[in-house]
Homo-oligomer: A and B are copies of this chain.
Amino acid sequence: MAHPRSARERARAELTREIKERALTQLAERGADLSLRAIARDLGLVSSALYRYFRSRDELLTALIVDAYDDLADALLAADAAVAEERYAERWQAVCAELRSWALEQPHRFALVYGSPVPGYRAPATTVAPAERVMTALSGIAEAAAAAGALDAAAVPLDPALEAQLSAVAGLLGPRVPPSVTARLVAAFAQVIGMVNLELAGHFVGGFEPADLLFAHSVRELADLLGLR
């Protein structure tokens, strides 16, 4: 698996990659509708040939989604690693900034995972783990701060039922983070994704363009709110 052996295997791996690459280019050019025939045309193949590589259009879509989550998570972790470990607020800002950059550079991939679901497509369970990698790239900072005793956690009283829900996701988002901070993490995540989506959809046109300053400012306020320093 590390290095494909035969020429056949090498060719297969490369074509699989090329198919996904063309699919992404097409998403970028034509919007959300993915056409297997158009991909095959671009690659100089007959449309049925694609079925040697992906069992169906949905399977190709799933592969693209998994790749997108993974790439995004990698980019976020890299941005995080570039900041000194104990500067939690700066790490948060760097990761959020990277998320936005990644989205602006590849809006179609961002839309694929955080935009409206593609009509007729239902994401399989395979996509859950990669999606969680993205969330934990953000929440991991709060968890690290909490572990280091550097999280200024405001103790907010919560509805017991909500607290139970929050504890249930604590395994994923970070067990040392108090429930009220977990709630804020989810809200903060929604805000970041929401701002990027609004920007990409052109809802800020006329008001905030570029939205760099607004985004950076909001992200800084979120870091405060989360108790990161």
Interface size class of A (residues with CB under 8 A): 35 or more
B202 touching A123 by the CB < 8 A rule?
yes
User: Contacting A120 at CB < 8 Å: which of B31, B159, B169, B187?
Assistant: B31
C-alpha spacing A184/B224, complex, angstroms: 13
Query: Does chain B have a CB within 8 A of A33?
Result: yes
C-alpha spacing A163/B126, complex, angstroms: 44
How distant is A142 from chain B, measured CB to nearest CB, in Å?
16
Most buried by B among A31, A114, A115, A116: A116
Q: Secondary structure at chain A's binding surface: helix, strand, loop or mixed? A: helix
Query: Does chain B have a CB within 8 A of A104?
Result: no
User: Contacting A190 at CB < 8 Å: which of B33, B195, B206, B213?
Assistant: B195
Partner-B contacts on A (CB < 8 A): 30-33, 111, 114-120, 123, 128, 131, 156, 158-159, 161-162, 165-166, 168-169, 172, 183-184, 186-195, 197-198, 200-203, 206-208, 213-214, 217-218, 221, 225
